[in-house]
Structure 1
Amino acid sequence: MANNALGDFQTPPALAAACLALVDLPAHARVLEPTCGTGAFLVAAGERWPDAERLGVEVQPGHAGIARAHARVLEDDVLTLRLDTDLPWRTAGPLAVVGNPPWVTSADLTRLGVTTAPRRRGLKQLPGLDALLGASNFDVAETLLLTVLEHLAEQPLTVAVLVKTQVARAVLTEVARAGLPLVAAEVFGVDARRWFGASVDACWLHLRLDPSAGRPPGAAGGYVADVHAGLHRGTPERRVGVVDGRWVEDVDAYARVRAADGASPCRWRSGVKHDAASALELVVDGAGTARTAAGQPVAVEPEHLHPLLKGGDLHHGRPASRLLVLPQRRLGEETAGLADAAPGLWGHLEAHAAVLDGRRSRIYAGRPRFSVFGLGDYTFAPWKVAVSGLHRDARFRLVGPTAVGGGAPRPVLLDDTAYQAAFSGPEAAAEAAVAWAVLGSPAASDLLAALLPRGAKRPVTARLLARLDLARLPVDDAEVVARARAGLAQQGAEEACGGVPAALARLRADTTDAAV
């Protein structure tokens, strides 16, 4: 198996030494490397603290054999041990846990056929579709570090590890949730491409806990960490952490717009999930003919074709130029009757059955044939405010009915890389335009900058958007009205401009009725 197949990135000696240079321990400390591999951190620890007791744990026999040349090593699975009672320490000095845990998720292990993947610790199991759609996936390094904290946090403890930045974020959040006695935290940027050839946002996470220290420091009782751009300690570029139970990417910037971190008056949802672009996403040629990406013309009934915007389209400001073939209008709706009700659609679906029936995600199992997800009344709402989930510099877009390939304008649908707040009813256009204008304000940009996780593959999520209380963002009302009217004019909906001031007043009163 390849070296990194199980997240097994062996640490270069120079990197291990540079990381441990940022850790201060007494000479008589104990140093544990719980997934020690070939022992890079055991070697570096011996050079930095020659009198410290060093102990490694490694499950792979070949690695363990190499590491034993540098320190005592147990050949065992660290996640099966009680770290507070099962380790054969010979001394009783202050304890430090260091190393480079596996950079792999539970889903990766499942795909690789590993049947002994660890369970996530300390978190509730996720029910239903949330779990099936991937929310129950977790990082093995996160589980290891939560195990370390669960077993060892009742004593003075240093934890210093190389991890993906998203793992550092999750661990700090759990430290805060559990109320552990954190006395200091630092995050140092690591160039994973340079050291490991990996396109991963990574860091050196350094935590110090001490049960005798009392209440942890931080903003308003929060748990915060200084962030440094590289492996050197200087003036932090910002502070991250948990404030009032919520994760914040810039604690100091957040203080300026904190009042608007609450509950959004809009409900944010992702777009349609289908996992079959070659079958269900069509392009329209210059003659107005709908075709598959392979160039095949399509004769699907018009009522089953909908204008489509993907996350990338939203981010780059591209107009809707695709059509989505939609077999259902409601989640779980039976599709067998389409053979009679929409023979053109049914013929198209059957012609692409190999793709549609071959979708691997478990969410399609046991569902009507050719099912899609992300459907509700909101899907077909005429007005939406939408944003890509894949780009950190969130660019919100006002989306009104659009005609693609001829015919009357129809509601635009989004794909599952995008999030939408949908609006229906007689004031929908004005309500949507006001929400869009507020989200484009400097105050909203400040709040998003403080909240959006850096380095995440999907930085924008429905959960994060749900925190944006548009009614409490400090915005200039005249600027909002002007921008909302300009947005409506660009959409060809000038007739709705007169309703903008009233829509803003309703938003201020937090009584937006058009959101669905």
Structure 2
Amino acid sequence: MCRFVSRQGFEPDAVLEPTYGSGGFLLAGIDAFSRLKKIYGVEYHKEYDWTAKAALTQRLAAYARPPEVRLHRGDIFRHGFDPGFFAVENLLILGNPPWVTNSELSSIKSDNVPPKSNFRGLSGIDALTGASNFDISEGIISGLLGAFSHMQGMLAMLCKRTVARNIVRDLPASGYLAHDLQVAPVDARKEFGRSVDAVLFACRLGKRPPRHTCRVVGLESPRTAGSFGWVRGRFVSDVSAYSRYSHLDGRSHLEWRSGIKHDCAPVLEMASKGGRIYNGLGGRVDIEGDCIYPLVKGSMIGKMCIESTPGRLLVTQRHPSEETGRLAALPRTWRYLLSHEKAMNGRKSAVYGRRRFSMFGVGEYSFMPYKVAVCGMRGGPVFSVCAPAGGRPAMLDDTCYFLGFKERDDAVFAASVLGTGASAGLLRSLSFAGSKRQYTKAVLERLDLRRAAAGTGFAEIRKVWRDRGFDGRGLDRQGYERFRRNLGRCVDGTFRARRQGAKVQRR
């Protein structure tokens, strides 16, 4: 890490480590940088604190003019830095903050967590379903940038790749003065025995115009392997690829919806075998069919058209506010739910704080006959048309996002446009491989489907069909042109199909 800093031509006068542990990085800084005048560190754990102080005392004993050292035992999130101590020309902030989330620390009742706040200013369901959970290292790095980015210096921190990405994403809103952003992949298993996608995140600090794109480089080589960050006010994962497909980056006129979330798969998810239905516990289920729907899971997305599935889902509501007590009118279904009430009530998610047997991510859109679906957790992207099975619309699990359609033809044409090289290229340039959810609602809704369809001829649609092994029987150029015209008639994020020859009612 210190070699990486030295190759940047940066020679620090002071080193700051926010969580110094046993002092390894501070000792490395003493060995690597001959101009050091000051060393500053903060550490929460008492046992590490004394180890580090002893090691530094021993290392500096031979120095005729050792650097001034200030080591503090305390909470980095509540520590007050002395501005006068850092009145130097070049400050280096380095270290390896804890690779743990705030919720993980809270679960073990640690008091070494950031003050309670909505860290990213999230609202609504994002805050409820985990998007507000963040790595402690992200809070530490962000806080250090807030305190020191106005000074001449450099920051070099080991962290998860997602943390570095989030820091870069939030830079324009934060106002931090950071430029020459770089990430260098680190073999965490080799270096730390951890199976984590880790990087060294580095940036220069000081009063220069900030640059919000980040280069991907090697630890031992300055050659740029790619870059991500902000381009004309849009956050992208691949600056080079984005330049080829940026004309499709806009706003989706159709609303992408998420699949159903319930957090009780053993009870609510079922499988049809030999004409009988079994739940995830292996028990046979004998209930009315009124609330049983075909279930397509994200792992099934792949074929151009999915017309059958062994999966079944017990859907308790048509919208989140619907009263579930109405299910008592279905005696076998009601008895089944009551027999598993303990498991249903044991669900952890805060979205279930309203009524028993509730679901989330369900609405009238869930019951659209045809859905164009993508699994957010798989690469690709790959889009499948999910057709009704047994006369009932297929439901999707919460790893999926979808667009709903009333007509099969429209769903097939939409999936085909989404499957073109340009559409896939844009989505890949906006998403980050290795993320838990590579394709999120926010990413999908940046693809302007109207613009993509306008630039896609019928010959290219047929090529998508050939590549996917789909015969396209019954679909023709006229149908595709009608689909493209109807894309311009979206209302409230819903596709409004107007069939050929349909009359417009005038008031």
State the secondary structure of the residue aligned to 1:155: coil
**What code does the residue aligned with 2:159 have?**
V
| In 1: Cα distance, 2:142 partner to 2:116 partner | 9
| In 2: Cα distance, 1:33 partner to 1:358 partner | 42
Partner of 2:245: 257
Gaps of 5+ in 2: 57-68, 498-507
Matches within 5 A, 1:311-460: 311-315=298-302, 320-339=309-328, 341-365=329-353, 367-402=354-389, 408-424=390-406, 428-460=407-439
**What code does the residue aligned with 2:345 have?**
D
State whether residues 287 and 336 of structure 2, in contact with CA within 8 Å, keep that contact through their aligned partners in structure 1: yes
Matches within 5 A, 1:466-505: 466-473=445-452, 475-482=455-462, 494=474, 499-505=479-485
- 1:46 pairs with 2:30: yes
Partner of 1:35: 19
**Deviation at residue 194 of structure 1 after TM alignment:** 2.1
State whether residues 184 and 216 of structure 2, in contact with CA within 8 Å, keep that contact through their aligned partners in structure 1: yes
Match for residue 273 of structure 1 among 245, 250, 261: 261
Partner of 1:208: 204
State the secondary structure of the residue aligned to 1:118: coil
State whether residues 142 and 171 of structure 1, in contact with CA within 8 Å, keep that contact through their aligned partners in structure 2: yes
> What is the CA deviation profile of residues 202-228 of structure 1, one whole-angstrom value per residue up to 9, with x for unaligned ones?
1101101220x3x345xxxxx211102
Partner of 1:198: 194
| In 1: Cα distance, 2:292 partner to 2:487 partner | 33
- 1:56 pairs with 2:56: no
**Deviation at residue 271 of structure 1 after TM alignment:** 0.6
State whether residues 465 and 471 of structure 2, in contact with CA within 8 Å, keep that contact through their aligned partners in structure 1: no
| In 2: Cα distance, 1:412 partner to 1:122 partner | 36
Inter-CA distance 485–190: structure 2 relative to 1 (3 Å threshold): closer
| In 2: Cα distance, 1:139 partner to 1:281 partner | 32
**What code does the residue aligned with 1:462 have?**
K
Match for residue 285 of structure 2 among 298, 313, 330: 298
**Deviation at residue 465 of structure 1 after TM alignment:** 0.7
> What is the CA deviation profile of residues 118-139 of structure 1, one whole-angstrom value per residue up to 9, with x for unaligned ones?
1478955333332111122122
Inter-CA distance 76–18: structure 2 relative to 1 (3 Å threshold): same
Partner of 2:62: none
| In 1: Cα distance, 2:318 partner to 2:463 partner | 33
State the secondary structure of the residue aligned to 2:284: coil
| In 1: Cα distance, 2:439 partner to 2:50 partner | 44
State the secondary structure of the residue aligned to 1:398: strand
Percent identity of paired positions between Structure 1 and Structure 2: 33
State whether residues 163 and 205 of structure 1, in contact with CA within 8 Å, keep that contact through their aligned partners in structure 2: yes
**What code does the residue aligned with 1:225 have?**
C
State whether residues 89 and 153 of structure 2, in contact with CA within 8 Å, keep that contact through their aligned partners in structure 1: no
Match for residue 74 of structure 1 among 65, 72, 75: 72
State whether residues 400 and 491 of structure 1, in contact with CA within 8 Å, keep that contact through their aligned partners in structure 2: no
| In 1: Cα distance, 2:224 partner to 2:496 partner | 41
State the secondary structure of the residue aligned to 1:79: coil
| In 2: Cα distance, 1:375 partner to 1:97 partner | 47
Inter-CA distance 380–491: structure 2 relative to 1 (3 Å threshold): farther
> What is the CA deviation profile of residues 431-481 of structure 1, one whole-angstrom value per residue up to 9, with x for unaligned ones?
222221111101112112211113211111101111111222384312354
**Deviation at residue 113 of structure 1 after TM alignment:** 1.8
**What code does the residue aligned with 1:421 have?**
L
**Deviation at residue 496 of structure 1 after TM alignment:** 9.0
State whether residues 417 and 461 of structure 2, in contact with CA within 8 Å, keep that contact through their aligned partners in structure 1: no
Match for residue 148 of structure 1 among 137, 144, 148: 144
Partner of 1:463: 442
**What code does the residue aligned with 1:30 have?**
A
**What code does the residue aligned with 2:358 have?**
S
> What is the CA deviation profile of residues 263-289 of structure 1, one whole-angstrom value per residue up to 9, with x for unaligned ones?
01221121100111100111111x221
State whether residues 416 and 465 of structure 2, in contact with CA within 8 Å, keep that contact through their aligned partners in structure 1: no
Inter-CA distance 315–40: structure 2 relative to 1 (3 Å threshold): farther
State the secondary structure of the residue aligned to 2:385: strand
| In 2: Cα distance, 1:331 partner to 1:492 partner | 37
Inter-CA distance 513–334: structure 2 relative to 1 (3 Å threshold): closer
| In 2: Cα distance, 1:292 partner to 1:371 partner | 18
> What is the CA deviation profile of residues 119-177 of structure 1, one whole-angstrom value per residue up to 9, with x for unaligned ones?
47895533333211112212211111111111112221311100111111111122222
**What code does the residue aligned with 2:41 have?**
G
State the secondary structure of the residue aligned to 2:77: helix
State whether residues 388 and 417 of structure 1, in contact with CA within 8 Å, keep that contact through their aligned partners in structure 2: yes
**More displaced, 197-206 or 251-260?**
197-206
**More displaced, 353-362 or 67-76?**
67-76
**What code does the residue aligned with 1:506 have?**
N
State whether residues 485 and 494 of structure 1, in contact with CA within 8 Å, keep that contact through their aligned partners in structure 2: no
State whether residues 471 and 509 of structure 1, in contact with CA within 8 Å, keep that contact through their aligned partners in structure 2: no
State whether residues 99 and 135 of structure 2, in contact with CA within 8 Å, keep that contact through their aligned partners in structure 1: yes
Inter-CA distance 31–260: structure 2 relative to 1 (3 Å threshold): same
Inter-CA distance 457–197: structure 2 relative to 1 (3 Å threshold): farther
Partner of 2:93: 97
**Deviation at residue 484 of structure 1 after TM alignment:** 7.8
State whether residues 30 and 94 of structure 1, in contact with CA within 8 Å, keep that contact through their aligned partners in structure 2: yes
| In 2: Cα distance, 1:306 partner to 1:477 partner | 36
Inter-CA distance 119–451: structure 2 relative to 1 (3 Å threshold): farther
After TM superposition, the score normalised by the length of structure 2 is 0.87
| In 2: Cα distance, 1:493 partner to 1:413 partner | 25
**Deviation at residue 510 of structure 1 after TM alignment:** 7.1
> What is the CA deviation profile of residues 24-71 of structure 1, one whole-angstrom value per residue up to 9, with x for unaligned ones?
422x51110011111121111111103312221111111111111226
State whether residues 465 and 472 of structure 2, in contact with CA within 8 Å, keep that contact through their aligned partners in structure 1: no
| In 2: Cα distance, 1:109 partner to 1:515 partner | 48
**Deviation at residue 353 of structure 1 after TM alignment:** 1.9
**What code does the residue aligned with 1:46 have?**
I
After TM superposition, the score normalised by the length of structure 1 is 0.85
**Aligned length, in residue pairs:** 479
State whether residues 381 and 428 of structure 2, in contact with CA within 8 Å, keep that contact through their aligned partners in structure 1: no
**What code does the residue aligned with 1:191 have?**
D
| In 1: Cα distance, 2:205 partner to 2:385 partner | 47
**What code does the residue aligned with 1:48 have?**
A
State whether residues 96 and 159 of structure 2, in contact with CA within 8 Å, keep that contact through their aligned partners in structure 1: yes
**Deviation at residue 79 of structure 1 after TM alignment:** 1.3
State whether residues 161 and 197 of structure 2, in contact with CA within 8 Å, keep that contact through their aligned partners in structure 1: yes
State whether residues 433 and 484 of structure 1, in contact with CA within 8 Å, keep that contact through their aligned partners in structure 2: no
State the secondary structure of the residue aligned to 1:54: strand
Inter-CA distance 250–383: structure 2 relative to 1 (3 Å threshold): same
**Deviation at residue 74 of structure 1 after TM alignment:** 1.1
Inter-CA distance 378–497: structure 2 relative to 1 (3 Å threshold): farther
**Deviation at residue 250 of structure 1 after TM alignment:** 0.9
**What code does the residue aligned with 1:262 have?**
G
| In 2: Cα distance, 1:411 partner to 1:323 partner | 11
Inter-CA distance 484–99: structure 2 relative to 1 (3 Å threshold): closer
**More displaced, 474-483 or 273-282?**
474-483
State whether residues 315 and 391 of structure 1, in contact with CA within 8 Å, keep that contact through their aligned partners in structure 2: no
**What code does the residue aligned with 2:28 have?**
A
